[in-house]
Amino acid sequence: MKTIGNAFRVAALCLGVFCAAGAAPNKELKMKETALFKADFEKKTILGVQESVKDYMKVQFVSLTTDQPLYWPNEDVFLKTLMPLTPGAKFRLTLQKKGASSKDLGLFSVNDAGIAVQTILSGKERKIEAGEYTATIKAVDGDATSYTSFTVVEGSLGAVSFAHEFKQLTSAAQLEKEKGAWFFGNAAGVGKRWGNGLNVKNEVRVLNQPFNGEAKIKSRCFLSGCNGVEAGTQQTVAIKDGKLELVLEVGGHSGPFGIEVITEKGSVEYVFGRSGHVERQTIPVSGGMKSRYIATLAPYEKTIPVPGRDIFVVKEGEDGSAVFDIASPIIAAGGNAVITALKDIENPRVFVLTPAKGGAYASKEIKTSSMKNGAVLPVPCSAPYSLIAIAGFSDGKYREAWAVCFPASSIDAEIQCAGNGLPLKQFSLTVKTFERGSRKALPAYGILEVFDNRVQSKSSKEPLASAVGDGARSLGNYLSSWRDYTGVAEEDEVQAKDEPMQRKEMKKMSAPRAAAGVMMDMSVAPSVAPAPKPASSSANEPQVTADLPPDQETIREGEKKVVYCAVVKTGADGSVVVPVTLPPQTGRCTMRFTAISGFDYAEAVKDVDVAKDNYLEVSMPTLIMPDADIEARVTAVIYAEGAQLTVSRNGEKASVYKLKKGAQELAVPLSGKKTGVMLFSLVDASGKTLDKREMTTRNIASFPITFSDIMISDGKPMTIAGGTVTAYAHPGKLLENMAMNMTTTMYSWFGHAEALSASCAIRAVLISAIDGNIIDGNGMRDTLKSDLVKTVKDLRTAFYDDASHLVRPYPGVDVNERFSIWTVNNLSAMLTHLDGNRAGEFADTIARAKEIIDGVRGELKKRQVTEAGLFDIARGVQTIPVEVDGKVVYTAITDKAAVDWFVAKALPKFALDKAKDDAAVNANFISLYDTYRFLRSFERTGATYYLLLNAKGMYTRGDAKYPELFNRIAKNILLTQEPGLIQGPALLGGVYSSSGTVAQFLDLMLAMAKDKKVVQTPEITVTKAGKKDRVKITRGFTAIGGEGGITVEAPQYVTLRVDTQKEVNMMSYVQNKPFLKANVERTSLKTGDEVTVSVELNADMDPAEYYAVIAVPTTLSIRQTEDLLSDYKGQLLYGQRASGGQKIQMLTAPFRGSRTMNLICTASVVGESEGYVFVRHVSNPAKCATVKIHKVTVR
Q: Under CATH, which number does the domain 706-729+1017-1050+1054-1062 receive?
A: 2.60.120
Q: How many other CB atoms sit within 10 Å of the CB of residue 173?
A: 9
pLDDT at 903: 61
Q: What angle do CA 134, 139, 140 make, to 5 degrees?
A: 125
Q: Say which residues have a Cβ less than 8 Å from residue 864's Cβ, sequence separation at least 6.
A: 1, 2
Residue 79: what pLDDT?
98
* pLDDT for res 984: 80
699 half-sphere exposure, CB direction, 13 A CA radius: 16
Residue 453 and residue 589 in contact, taking contact as beta carbons nearer than 8 Å = yes
Which residue has better confidence, 621 or 989? 621
Percent of the chain at pLDDT > 90 equals 71
pLDDT band for position 224 (cuts 50, 70, 90):
confident
Whether 920 shows a pLDDT value over 60: the answer reads no
What is the per-residue pLDDT for 950? 84
CB 1033 within 8 A of CB 726: no
More confident residue, 77 or 817: 77
Kindly give the residue spans of alpha helices, DSSP state H, lying in 864-995. Answer: 896-901, 907-910, 918-932, 944-957, 962-976
Length of the chain in residues, anyone?
1195
Q: What pLDDT does 940 receive?
A: 73
3-class SS at 1149?
A: strand
Answer whether 612-697 and 1065-1194 agree in fold.
Answer: yes
Q: What 3-state class would DSSP assign to 142?
A: coil
854: pLDDT confidence band, cut at 50, 70 and 90?
Answer: very high
The whole-number average pLDDT for the span 565-573 is 98
Please measure the distance between the N-terminal and C-terminal CA atoms of the chain and give it in whole angstroms.
70
Residues 893-921 have a mean pLDDT of 54
Per the omega criterion (within 30 degrees of 0), is the bond before 256 cis?
Answer: yes
Q: What is the residue-averaged pLDDT of the chain?
A: 86
Q: Would you state the pLDDT for residue 497?
A: 35
Residue 881 has pLDDT above 50, yes or no: no
What mean pLDDT do residues 61-80 have? 97
Residue 365, classed as helix, strand or coil, is: strand
Tell me the mean pLDDT in the region 410-424: 97
pLDDT confidence band for 485 (50 / 70 / 90) = low
In order, the DSSP letters of 264-287 are TTEEEEEE-TT-SHHHHS-EE-EE
pLDDT (0 to 100) of residue 108: 96
C-alpha 998/C-alpha 491 separation (Å) is: 38
Q: Are 1028 and 1021 in contact, with CB atoms under 8 Å apart? A: yes
pLDDT (tens digit, 9 = 90+) per residue, 1135-1168?
999 999 999 999 999 999 999 999 999 999 999 9
- Position 244, amino acid: L
Confidence class for position 914, pLDDT limits 50, 70, 90: low
**Residue range 1020-1042, pLDDT digits in tens:** 999 998 999 999 998 889 999 87
CA distance 448 to 568: 6
Statement: residue 703 has pLDDT above 70: yes
> Residue ranges per domain, the chain?
1-30+736-866+980-1014, 284-407, 612-697, 706-729+1017-1050+1054-1062, 875-978, 1065-1194
What pLDDT score was predicted for residue 701?
A: 81
Q: What is the DSSP code (8-state) at residue 28? A: P
pTM (two decimals) = 0.87
* The 3-state secondary structure of 623-676, one letter per residue: ECCCCCEEEEEEEEEECCCCCEEEEEECCCCCEEEECCCEEEEEEEEEECCCCE
CA distance 211 to 197: 25
Helices (H) and strands (E) in the chain, counts: 17, 78
- For residue 104, pLDDT over 80 is answered with yes
Question: Residue 488: which of 11, 813, 819 has the closest Cα?
Answer: 813
Question: Is the pLDDT higher at 188 or at 351?
Answer: 351
- 207, with CB counted inside 10 A (0-12, 13-18, 19+), is buried
At 563, the pLDDT band (50, 70, 90 cuts) reads very high
Confidence of residue 786 (pLDDT cuts 50, 70, 90): very high
Report the pLDDT value the prediction gives residue 480, as an integer from 0 to 100. Answer: 87
Nearest CA among 1133, 1111, 1130 for reference residue 1192: 1111
Handedness of CA 209, 214, 219, 220 (dihedral sign): negative
Separation of alpha carbons 381 and 48, rounded Å? 19
Confidence grade of residue 30 (pLDDT, cut at 50, 70, 90):
very low
Other Cβ atoms closer than 10 A to 364: 14
Residue 799 has what DSSP assignment? I
**Cα–Cα dist 591/415, whole Å:** 8
pLDDT of res. 846:
96
Q: In which band, very low, low, confident or very high, does the pLDDT at 21 lie, cut at 50, 70 and 90? A: very low
* Residue 15 confidence (pLDDT): 27
Residue 298 has pLDDT above 80, yes or no: yes
Enumerate the β-bridge partners of residue 147. 136
Name the band, by pLDDT with cuts 50, 70 and 90, for residue 1078: very high
Q: Looking at 837-913, which runs of residues are DSSP E strands?
A: 865-867, 871-872, 877-884, 887-892
* Residue spans of alpha helices (H) in 542-635: none
Instruction: For residue 996, name the pLDDT band (cuts at 50, 70, 90).
Output: confident
Q: What is the CA radius of gyration of the chain?
A: 31
> What percent of the chain shows pLDDT beyond 70?
85
Band (pLDDT 50/70/90 cuts) for residue 849 is very high
What pLDDT, on the 0 to 100 scale, is given for residue 547? 39
Which pLDDT tens digit goes with each residue over 518-562? 222 222 222 223 333 333 333 333 333 333 344 456 899 999 999
With cut-offs at 50, 70 and 90, classify the pLDDT of residue 1181: very high
Residue 656 neighbours by CB under 8 Å, 6+ apart: 534, 535, 536, 542, 543, 544, 545, 644, 645, 646
Question: HEC profile for 692-716?
Answer: EEEEEEECCCCEEEEEEEEEECCCC
Q: Distance (Å, rounded) from C-alpha 956 to C-alpha 896?
A: 10
In this predicted structure, what is the pLDDT of residue 486? 60
491 half-sphere exposure, CB direction, 13 A CA radius: 26
Among residues 428, 435, 429, the alpha carbon closest in space to that of 413 is found at 435
CATH superfamily of 1065-1194: Immunoglobulins (2.60.40.10)
Contact 973/941 with Cβ under 8 angstroms?
yes
Find the range with the poorest average confidence among 107-116, 218-227, 323-332, 796-805: 218-227
Residue closest to 267 by CA, chosen among 1110, 847, 1090: 1090
Of 407-411, 930-934, 1071-1075, the range with the lowest mean pLDDT is: 930-934
Backbone angles phi, psi at 801, to 5 degrees: -100, 120
Q: Report whether pLDDT(913) > 70.
A: no
Range among 42-46, 887-891, 974-978, 1091-1095 rated most confident: 1091-1095
Confidence class of residue 916 from pLDDT cuts 50, 70 and 90? Answer: low
Distance in angstroms (rounded) separating the CA atoms of residues 625 and 1110: 12
Can you tell me the mean pLDDT for 222-238?
Answer: 92
pLDDT digit string, tens, across residues 237-282 = 999 999 999 999 999 899 999 999 999 999 999 999 999 999 999 9
DSSP, res 169: -
pLDDT of residue 524: 26
β-partners of residue 710 are 1057
Phi then psi for residue 946, to 5 deg, are -65, -45
Candidates 625, 511, 647; CA nearest to 219 is 511
pLDDT band at 489 (very low <50, low <70, confident <90, very high): very low
CATH class of 612-697: mainly beta
Q: Please name the fold of domain 284-407.
A: Immunoglobulin-like (2.60.40)
